[in-house]
Amino acid sequence: MKNKIIYWIATAWLSLGMVSTGIVQLIQMKEEADMFVHLGYPAYLMIILGIWKLLGVIVVLVPKYPLVKEWAYAGFFFTMSGAVFSHFAAGDGAKEYFGPVLLLVLTVVSWYFRPADRKLQG
């Protein structure tokens, strides 16, 4: 029961974080667009990441499809670890790391504590 509670808390926060950042990227909010320029990425990458984040949240939340869930978690992990390293490479301060690190930790916790019916069997 404890693992299920940990899973749902981490997954709820992860989902909220991915949906909110995905929407911010899809609407190309000025602050986000400025950050992408600062990090050296093209603006169109925001649309790609925004769409995949929203799709990933849907996959993680719906029951079944464990293989697709693994891909969604991997995508979240690669995206957030890439964000951490991008901020590091750009020489950003600690406050720029908070969001990506938090979402990275939530991704790992949600993945690790997912119920057996949401895991690949085999």
- Sketch the domain layout of the chain as residue ranges: 1-112
Task: Indicate the pTM of the whole model.
Answer: 0.93
For range 105-110, the mean pLDDT: 98
The rounded Cα 6 to chain-centroid distance in angstroms is 17
Q: Is 64 exposed, middle or buried (0-12, 13-18, 19+ CB in 10 A)?
A: exposed
For 63, phi and psi rounded to 5 degrees?
A: -70, 165
pLDDT in tens, 66-94: 999 999 999 999 999 999 999 999 999 99
Tokens matching residue 56? 């990933």
Q: What's the sign of the alpha-carbon dihedral 82, 42, 59, 1?
A: positive
Separation of alpha carbons 70 and 50, rounded Å: 19
Please, are residues 84 and 101 in contact by the beta-carbon 8 Å criterion? yes
pLDDT in tens, 45-64: 999 999 999 999 999 999 98
Can you give the pLDDT at residue 70? 96
pLDDT in tens, 5-47: 999 999 999 999 999 999 999 999 999 999 999 999 999 999 9
